[in-house]
Amino acid sequence: MKLEGTVIAAHGRHYLVELPDGGTLPCFPRGKKSELACGDRVSVARSSATQGVIDAVLPRRTLLYRSNEFRQKLIAANVTRVVVVVATEPSFSEELVTRCLVAAESQDIGVLIVLNKCDLADRLPAAEAALAPFSSLGYPILRLSARAGAEALRPHLAGQTGVFVGQSGMGKSTLINALVPEANARTREISEALDSGRHTTTHAALYRLPGDSSLIDSPGLQEFGLHHLSVPEIEHGFREFRPWLGSCRFRNCRHDREPGCAIRAAVEAGGIAASRYAAFRALRGESRPS
Ligand code: GDP
Ligand code: ZN
The pLDDT value recorded for residue 140 is 98
**Is residue 42 within 8 Å of residue 54, measured between CB atoms?**
yes
The matching CATH number, chosen from 1.10.10.10, 1.10.40.50, 1.10.600.10, 3.40.190.10, for 231-285 is 1.10.40.50
E strand or H helix that includes residue 240: none
Distance 211 CA to ligand 2 centre (A): 45
176 lines ligand 1 (CB under 6 A): no
The pLDDT value recorded for residue 197 is 57
Fold for 63-217, please state it. Answer: Rossmann fold (3.40.50)
Q: What is the value of pTM for the model shown? A: 0.94
Class of domain 2-57: mainly beta
Residue type, 19: L
The pLDDT value recorded for residue 233 is 92
Domain locations in the chain? 2-57, 63-217, 231-285
The pLDDT value recorded for residue 118 is 98
149 CA closest ligand 1 atom index: 23
- Residue 100: which of 116, 74, 82, 115 has the closest Cα? 82
Find all residues with CB under 8 Å of 193, minimum gap 6, and list them.
9, 16, 24, 26
Count CB-CB contacts under 10 A for residue 161.
24
CA dist 172 and 240 (Å) reads 29
The pLDDT value recorded for residue 279 is 95
Residue-by-residue pLDDT tens, the chain, 290 positions: 789 999 999 887 889 999 999 899 999 998 766 789 999 999 999 999 899 999 999 999 999 999 988 888 899 999 999 999 999 999 999 999 999 999 999 999 999 999 999 999 999 999 999 999 999 999 999 999 999 999 999 999 999 999 999 999 999 999 999 999 888 877 777 877 776 656 555 678 999 998 889 999 988 888 899 999 999 999 999 999 999 999 999 998 999 999 999 999 999 999 999 999 999 999 999 887 65
168 lines ligand 1 (CB under 6 A): yes
pLDDT in tens, 73-87: 899 999 999 999 999
147 CA closest ligand 1 atom index: 23
Domain 231-285 in the same topology as domain 63-217: no
Distance 264 CA to ligand 2 centre (A): 6
